[in-house]
Amino acid sequence: MSQQEDDLRALAKIMDFLRAVSIILVVMNVYWFCYEVIRLWGVNIGVVDRILLNFDRTAGLFHSILYTKLFAVLLLALSCLGTKGVKGEKITWGRIWTALAAGSVLFFLNWWILALPLPIEAVMGLYVLTIGTGYVCLLMGGLWMSRLLKHNLMEDVFNKAFHANSFAAVGVTPVWRPFQRAQVRLCAHMFMPFKKIEQAADGFGVYYGEWLQDPEFAAELDLVYNLPFASVCGYVNYLSYPARNWHVGLSFGLYFTASRFLR
């Protein structure tokens, strides 16, 4: 019991660390893109300036206003996945998607505020207000989603339609490149079970069904954008069982160059 408690405390510390780094990235974003106001206030932290300039020179971290935001959301999502909690009665998918949608709009789509013809202090205030409110909404949505998913994982997570001893499968994956850094992929597959594994009527035993019956379908549409250091993919996928089984998501991958192995 003591070992389990120690593991939970260690996990909580790791999640807190990831969330703290995520917040630091948001602060770095504000510091960089509102630097004129910070200098106007007489704040001059030379060490921080040199560190951020080195980050930008070596990794291109501030070449776009979205890069630090994407990293911050990635770390925030990881910290939410490891958060323990109890499912509340008022937590629903509608509330979760509302919080995530509002947070995404406020957090990511506020770059135009920096170009408003207002005093620079007012511009920074509006920018900080929107990015902070968006971050809180994303945090709330992520925590709610984590609690709801962990509650649902107590159930059977395997798709009953794909219980079989083996499958025959066929699929196509057309790829379209609208421009150099972007890809659109459509993956469509059909699965034909040789013999399905069915559950007995008493709920305890199983048995094999008939040969080559009830084909199942799976499809996914991916929109991929390749950054200089990472790849961002938005996807929507569909499974034929259960009915209307649609899923939407966002994935994020980092590039690591191992030049020693490429020689």
Contact 195, 163 (CB under 8 A): no
Confidence of residue 1 (pLDDT cuts 50, 70, 90): very low
Residue 39 has pLDDT above 50, yes or no: yes
Structure confidence at residue 134 (pLDDT):
94
CA atoms of 55 and 30, how far apart (whole Å): 15
Confidence of residue 158 (pLDDT cuts 50, 70, 90): very low
Confidence of residue 160 (pLDDT cuts 50, 70, 90): low
Residue type, position 19, single letter: R
| Residue 260 backbone dihedrals phi, psi, to 5 degrees | -65, -35
Instruction: Kindly give, in sequence order, each residue whose CB lies less than 8 Å from that of residue 108, ignoring residues fewer than 6 positions away.
Output: 66, 69, 134
Range 133-152 average pLDDT: 83
Which of 248, 201, 255, 205 is closest to 223 using CA atoms?
Answer: 248
Residue 151 has pLDDT above 60, yes or no: no
In order of 35, 68, 73, the CA distances from 16 in angstroms are 28, 19, 14
Confidence of residue 166 (pLDDT cuts 50, 70, 90): low
Question: pTM for the whole thing?
Answer: 0.58
Which of 220, 229, 226, 225 is closest to 249 using CA atoms?
Answer: 220
DSSP 241: S
Expressed in angstroms, the distance from the first to the final Cα of the chain is 50
- Higher per-residue pLDDT: 13 or 165: 13
Structure confidence at residue 107 (pLDDT):
93
Residue 154 has pLDDT above 50, yes or no: no
Distance of CA 71 to the CA centre of its chain: 10
Confidence of residue 137 (pLDDT cuts 50, 70, 90): very high
Range 18-39 average pLDDT: 89
Residue 130 has pLDDT above 90, yes or no: yes
- Higher per-residue pLDDT: 45 or 152: 45
Percent of the chain with pLDDT strictly greater than 70:
75
CA atoms of 154 and 146, how far apart (whole Å): 13
**What are the E-state strand segments in the chain?**
167-172, 175-176, 182-193, 195-199, 206-211, 216-226, 230-239, 245-254
**The most confident of 148-157, 177-186, 250-259, by mean pLDDT:** 177-186
Segment 91-107, tens digit of pLDDT: 788 888 899 999 999 99
Contact 103, 137 (CB under 8 A): yes
Structure confidence at residue 4 (pLDDT):
61
Structure confidence at residue 153 (pLDDT):
47
